[in-house]
Amino acid sequence: MRILIATTNVHKAKELAAILPDSIKGEKIEYLTLKDFPNYAQPEENGRTIKDNAVLKAVAAARYAEIPALADDTGLEVDALNGAPGVKSARYAGPDHDADENNRKLLAALDGLFLGQRTARFKTVACCAAPSGETVTAEGLLDGFIGFGYRGENGFGYDPVFIVKGKGKTLAEMTAEEKNSLSHRRLAFEKILDAAEKLIVA
């Protein structure tokens, strides 16, 4: 049985392969990535929601490879900003963004708010798609707060400003093992294959 993890990111693929099961109903799974399909052109992520983008990526990859495909999309939702940056998290500061510019814009937008007013969550939606276009999705959430500045040297993206609820430290202050044990992506992908079993073994 072959399943395509719809990413070219080697680190992400390795992380997911460690989360996902080796077999379903006794049948061994071989995980491929988009590196195995060098001519594949990834679709533009123009969905209105995080879920839209996850579905878009999974369906396109499954139809191209003609095997079931897994994809995800992740966003940071800040309550004081009515859920922004959300689906635009990666390009919050503009199309020519970088992570530092995104974080600086976010901190500026929350200037003057107390920690209790800076509640936020990371949301990952994972999608499994069959070549037919049929899909199943699952969601993982990580609750926390946006801090007042950068803390920690690990991680990437919004990790230095995201304080994990109940932990007292940012994702960037955690080891990779700590972060992965509670990550929103892990929660979403731990759910997805159980939900998608009928698509995969069909």
- Residues with catalytic function: 73
DSSP assignment of 136-161 equals EEEEEEEEEEE-SS---SSS-TTGGG
Query: Which two three-digit tokens encode residue 75?
Result: 């966003």
Angle subtended at Cα 159 by Cα 84 and Cα 74, rounded to the nearest 5 degrees: 50
d(CA 64, CA 39): 10
Compute CA distances 123 → 24, 77, 138, 141, 183, whole Å: 26, 7, 11, 5, 10
